[in-house]
């Protein structure tokens, strides 16, 4: 009974961490694109 709850909690934490990590990667990707565009724009 307790083991099942622990596994469920671990599964939820793992899933949540994956979601957070993916969101961070997406945000960093957009930030990188934004900074690159600004750098290119400042050249012209």
How far apart, in whole angstroms, are the C-alpha atoms of residue 13 and residue 4?
14
Closest CA to 8 of 16, 24, 34: 16
Over the stretch 1-44, which tens digit does the pLDDT of each residue have?
A: 788 888 899 999 999 999 999 999 999 999 999 999 888 777 65
pTM here?
0.58
Instruction: Return the pLDDT at 7.
Output: 87
């Amino acid at each position: 009974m307790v083991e099942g709850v622990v596994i469920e909690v671990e599964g939820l934490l793992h899933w949540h961490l994956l979601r957070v990590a993916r969101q961070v990667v997406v945000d960093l990707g957009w930030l990188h694109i934004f900074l690159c565009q600004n750098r290119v724009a400042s050249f012209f």
